[in-house]
Amino acid sequence: MNKKLLSLVLVAALAMSLLAGCGSKEEPKATTAAAADTTAAAADNETEAPADTTAAAGDETTAAAAAGGNTTGETIKVGYAQVGHESDWRTANTKNYQDVFSAANGYELSFVDCDNDNAAQLEAVRGFIQQELDYIVIAPIETAGWDTVLQEAQDAGIPVIIADREIDAPDTLYDAWVGTNTKNEGITAANWLAEYLDGKEANILVIEGSVGASATLGRTEGFNEVAAEHSEWKILDSQSGDFTQAGGQEVMESFIKSYEGQFNVVVCQNDNEAYGAMDAMKAANITYGVDGDVILISYDATHDGLQYTLDGAINCNVECNPIQAEVVAGVIQAMATGGSFEKTTLVNDQAFVAPGIESEYATTMTQEILDGRAY
């Protein structure tokens, strides 16, 4: 192996271990199983989501910064317009940004929690433009409404990175995108359900995420695409729980009033909603999970969500990796030093199922996996 090739391999390995391990040295072997990888599932499905360029890097500049460090010798000012604080996923994502874009790493981070308010988020971005920050990172609350403010950032000469969620705007209006493929997450959840039910009927209730968020739209579209192939499945209802525990509980309570005794599957589009739904079902004496009457599917695979999966209360939990700041820092470093970077970088994730379930689409949970999680 020549030197250049060897360094590329090492760099890719570093980037992958940072992404996959999220700082953990004990990432379970199973996480590398292709079948359990929602990205691998993408290969079979046409999606609009950006192609997987995770190991992206493949070049020295990106990888050097993947560790988080600013190598330019000058403090880089970064604005992050964060969605809000609606979920454990969001908390992990915020912490990740604060850790990576720290003063010690050579950054000055202007962090704005937009409290799930679209107008506040536009205002935050305009504030970053006025402050003449060096880079703007946006986790867009909704897909729509971005053209004008992105044009303003471009006119001001400030590079913009869209992170976590997707937007509905021409890609000439931003410089890079880093996030997860939520449509594939939906496809994985439904593929798992089909495998688990093996032809049995499904009467499904869906607690969706926030209205207009790409994570909601993607998970819904992916799941529905597979559901359409199953005439034995019926989606009884689908309502937004706003990605919160309170929202999940409220929607589940109203579902129980309308559909008690009629459903055997509940899909929650994030873990916090699942906690709320579990509380509502418990209060109504409805059993769920591997030993229950209702199959419970969740997304995010945050620490507590995986604990519930390990306990058998959640049957299947499709991961969405919140650890994205290293990749964003890598892109910023490449921009700052004239290095090359990928326009779109997909952060990998996978799916997990409760003990006792074997799946082609997901990894069976173990204590070891939970102990190895960094968020």
* Runs of H (alpha helix) within 284-354: 303-310, 325-337
Which phi and psi angles does 258 have, rounded to 5°? Answer: -85, -30
Among 215, 267, 346, 353, binds ligand GYE (CB under 6 A): 215
Cβ nearer to ligand GYE, comparing 218 with 312: 218
Among 80, 174, 233, 243, binds ligand GYE (CB under 6 A): 243
Q: What is the DSSP track for 49-95? A: SPPP-GGGG-SHHHHHHHTS---SSSPEEEEEEE--S-SHHHHHHHH
Token pair 């999966």 is found at 309
Strand ranges (E), 155-201: 160-164, 176-179
Burial 357-374 (b: 16+ CB within 10 A, else e): bebebbbbbeeebbebbe
Specify whether the CB–CB gap between 269 and 209 falls below 8 A.
yes
Determine the 3-state secondary structure of 244 from DSSP: coil
89 forms part of the interface with ligand GYE (CB under 6 A): yes
Q: According to CB under 6 A, which residues from 266 to 295 bind ligand GYE? A: 270
308 forms part of the interface with ligand GYE (CB under 6 A): no
CB 164 to ligand GYE: min, Å: 5
User: CA 157, CA 134: separation in Å to the nearest integer?
Assistant: 9
What does the per-residue mask of binding to ligand GYE show for 96-135, with x meaning CB under 6 A? Answer: ----------------------------------------
Among 77, 165, 183, 373, binds ligand GYE (CB under 6 A): 165
Number of H helices, E strands in the chain: 13, 13
**Smallest Cα–Cα separation from 213: which of 233, 244, 184, 242?**
242
Q: Taking the CA atoms of 220, 221, 223 and 229 in sequence, report the sign of the dihedral they define.
A: positive
Cβ nearer to ligand GYE, comparing 11 with 266: 266
CB 124 to ligand GYE: min, Å: 17
What does the per-residue mask of binding to ligand GYE show for 317-346, with x meaning CB under 6 A? Answer: ---x--------------------------
Distances (CA, A) of 245 to 60, 272, 274: 42, 4, 7
User: CA 319, CA 178: separation in Å to the nearest integer?
Assistant: 16
Side chain identity, residue 356: G
CB 291 to ligand GYE: min, Å: 26
Cβ nearer to ligand GYE, comparing 86 with 134: 86
CB 171 to ligand GYE: min, Å: 19
Q: Which two tokens stand for residue 125?
A: 């971005």
Cβ nearer to ligand GYE, comparing 37 with 300: 300
164 forms part of the interface with ligand GYE (CB under 6 A): yes
Cβ nearer to ligand GYE, comparing 223 with 233: 223
Pick the piece of the chain touching ligand GYE (CB under 6 A) from 37-45, 83-91, 96-104, 128-136.
83-91
Pick the piece of the chain touching ligand GYE (CB under 6 A) from 47-55, 82-90, 125-133, 278-286.
82-90
Cβ nearer to ligand GYE, comparing 85 with 234: 85
| Helix H or strand E segment including 360 | none
**Smallest Cα–Cα separation from 310: which of 252, 350, 369?**
369
Specify whether the CB–CB gap between 316 and 353 falls below 8 A.
yes
249 forms part of the interface with ligand GYE (CB under 6 A): no
Among 174, 299, 341, 352, binds ligand GYE (CB under 6 A): 299
245 forms part of the interface with ligand GYE (CB under 6 A): no
For the beta carbon of residue 134, count every other beta carbon within 10 angstroms.
19
**Number of residues this chain uses to bind ligand GYE (CB under 6 A):** 12
Which phi and psi angles does 267 have, rounded to 5°? Answer: -110, 120
CB 206 to ligand GYE: min, Å: 14
CB 93 to ligand GYE: min, Å: 8
Q: According to CB under 6 A, which residues from 10 to 69 bind ligand GYE? A: none
Q: Which residues bind ligand GYE (CB under 6 A)?
A: 86-87, 89-90, 164-165, 215, 243, 270, 299-300, 320
